[in-house]
Structure 1
């Protein structure tokens, strides 16, 4: 019986090993979740976060190497893209003008400077350069001084006829004095913006100190604010003869300093005033006034001043989401393709033609401006991904485009966010009331790069929470979620 029991035991053990082998083989044969499936699951979780519940969400992620779709959700739904629309404007501008293109501001007079370095009227023709700053106007003035100019006995006449007279797009409602909603002109300075520094006095009831930068006669200050408790500080503006009045009301704590960034109402008059200031700074006297006028055909060109290359302009445009640059680019595209004056309707049509010529999926695209400020704009995640890939892959301007995108947790509009994704993320941000978006490129530790776009419309919570959800989406893309 002991022998039989031993044989039986050996048989049972053999059967057990066989079952174990079969079971193990069966389990081994079950496919493990693919890396892309795991990634898609992580991305889906990010979009199901509480701040996005009830919102309309569109998203697309593709492998940038082979174009394979890794994740999508309503990728063909046209949504308000906010500043992600800037990707389309930048692509069209780089394609039409090229990254080395420089917008030119031209200066004329009736004749060359006389023996005393004097001319009559000095004419300045705006070339649509959106990047000119006070420092650039100083360089322009210094170039004129080197060319022999010392005195303008007549007026400083500005020809801004390259663009039409529509300063703000009609769909931007309501207009405010905030710098992000600055007006557009063919001659601009400092993105049509300026700073107002308000400092509380040293005792309760005393007036605050108000300083405007740049310090121009163009600005007049109405200081109605005081030191001490009271209503919050408010800085507004209104047009007055020959310039603008900056009105400061409310109250400031003792010794406290606040800086307000504000836009001007008259971009051409402001730019002319900046130029007049810098002419004086280099030793060129202007006797007359600032006025608008066409450059006479018989005028003599004194200077062709080239601004920064378009690659640098686009970098400022995308890195810092600079709205005036986008609108000026749209009007320059219009003027280049369809003649003067450049306007929004013609300019956005140029963008559409360029996208169609590239074969990009433009179904559902509605573009009315260059920056994405309008709630009338519509774009799909599929188009934004395709445009990002097209721009980044271009031999002519791909490097410049990629270098223009904000880097996660490092610079531009991503400097204080997307720390989870970090420098493996390069993406354009977008934010309007109840709208947030993020489109660009993300690189994983395994070396793969993804092109992606996610747009959220109608989120119900606070903007910070919705932005955090998109940052979590980006972190999952790079493998840090």
Structure 2
């Protein structure tokens, strides 16, 4: 959406930002750029009162920049404003209308319907299964249908290009509406003087680790240097249905076939340091296989048995809800998104904005989320020219926003009914989140709530700084340059300059 001439009235409050603003950088900031050998022209920045008024510093503030994870501020604030702090996601287990329960057995199709919960952990899924056991069910006979239709497309991970050379990494997980534990397998590695032990921590039935790791001479801190992507092999087996395994059963029932009940082998290769202990959480299994092996393991731990397969599908309207779990409220979900810069949770919130949009005729969830954010910005008087949205997390080479636009968003956040919820999700300088090790001992310690952003060629900060005179400022700064990371100290100097009361 582009602002029409009529809407220029709403932009007028932002125009005086440049009238009295200095364009020269504070000496400490400029010195940090010189030390890093990064040109100051790579910086776009603005410092402006949080409650409105003229900016005190601008540097190419209207230039669209890649903000990296600072883009999460857009997704989380608009999410709060549009969905409300008490918005919750819902996950359900349902039974087909024709399913029959006799004593402790349920025969018929079950459905696991995802509702986009960004924080659906193994423990939460286990608690849903526990409710089924408490309802008297022990033996399940029928397939489990995985319903991911809350988001469209249902499986955006299939065929998606790699973002970087670490596709197995947690930050690269692509969301879907039924994402349990972010599809992560937890593998612990510990080496002593003569052996390397590997252990699978995630409860996955019939999944084994084969360890072909060898020692290297690297320090433990560099353990990933010779780590190779694990090799996953599916072992075909006869289904574990007692009838199928009956030696007197008709020959046709013993035919070997690929099944989600077959085992998986994870083979580890590469080098690993001596005297090293780490836990690696990686996205390596097919999602349907992951859920099949996870649910079977959890159900067996509860004393249950299950004869059936896992497959994709949709829940019929006639299905009956057996159990339902709602997520934490959105206000609580914001904290890991912003404090820990959780990409997959941010992307799921972004998709939810699209799914829950009332005006998404013919649009995908991503398109509807983009339109909804621009409509919100229009109502706040923020010009969206140059804004580029891809997934709302900042894990993107495409996304762009100018410091002036981000400052307008943060000023709108300060005016919001949900400012307390929004501000409490931001990392506090020298205390927590991605700012826990930054700005210690300086004037900004505990006075700055800052969302950081880091990608190859990008570093950024955006948030609120309360100076020694107790005035609240919005500070936004982005560096786009091949050596941007070397100039990160310049962003810290800018925050300290504001906190010290120099404006």
Range of TM-score over shorter length: 0.7 to 0.9
Matched residue, 1:257:
277
Is 1:405 matched up with 2:391?
no
Confirm or deny that 1:63 pairs with 2:84. no
Matches within 5 A, 1:1-400: 41-42=26-27, 45=30, 48-51=33-36, 53-54=38-39, 56-110=42-96, 111=99, 113-116=101-104, 118-163=106-151, 164=153, 165-167=155-157, 170=161, 172-173=163-164, 176-203=167-194, 206=195, 208-217=196-205, 219-227=207-215, 229=217, 232-237=225-230, 240-241=233-234, 242=260, 246-337=266-357, 338=360, 343-395=365-417, 397-400=418-421
| Cα distance change of structure 1 residues 340 and 167 upon mapping to structure 2, 3 Å threshold | farther
Tell me the SS of whatever aligns to 1:149.
coil
Contact 2:46–2:57 (Cα < 8 Å) also in 1: yes
In the other structure, the counterpart of 2:466 is 443
User: Bigger shift: 333-342 or 399-408?
Assistant: 333-342
Tell me by how many angstroms 1:81 deviates: 0.7
Distance of aligned partners of 1:224 and 1:190 in 2 relative to their CA distance in 1, 3 Å threshold: same
- 8 Å Cα contact 1:276-1:286 kept in structure 2: yes
The corresponding residue for 1:27 is none
Task: Give a deviation string over 1:111-131, Cα, whole Å, max 9, x none.
Answer: 474432534222111101111
Report the TM-score, using the length of structure 2 for normalisation.
0.80
Aligned residues: 441
Q: For residues 39-86 of structure 1, give each alpha carbon's deviation from its aligned partner in whole angstroms, at most 9, with x where no partner exists.
A: 963575366443262261100011113332111110000111100111
TM-score (norm 1): 0.83
Q: 1:296 & 1:116 partners in 2: Cα distance?
A: 24
Q: 1:147 to 1:394 in 2, by over 3 A?
A: farther
Partners of 1:252 and 1:445 in 2: how far apart?
A: 49
Partner of 1:428: 451
Q: Output the aligned Cα RMSD.
A: 2.9
- Render the CA deviation track for 1:118-161: whole Å, top value 9, x for unaligned: 34222111101111111211222233333443332112221112
SS of the equivalent of 1:137 reads: helix
Kept after mapping to 2: 8 A contact 1:52/1:469: no
1:363-399 Cα deviation digits (max 9, x unpaired): 210111121111111110111111122123211x211
Task: Note the C-alpha offset of 1:239.
Answer: 5.5
Match of 1:13 in 2: none
Structure 2 CA distance for aligned equivalents of residues 239 and 368 of structure 1: 31
CA shift, 1:340, in A, is 9.7
Post-superposition shift, 1:238?
5.1
Counterparts in 2 of 1:453 and 1:217: CA distance versus 1, 3 Å: same
Task: Give the secondary structure class of the aligned counterpart of 1:470.
Answer: helix
Distance 1:384 1:240, change over 3 A: farther
Q: Mark the structure with the bigger radius of gyration.
A: 1
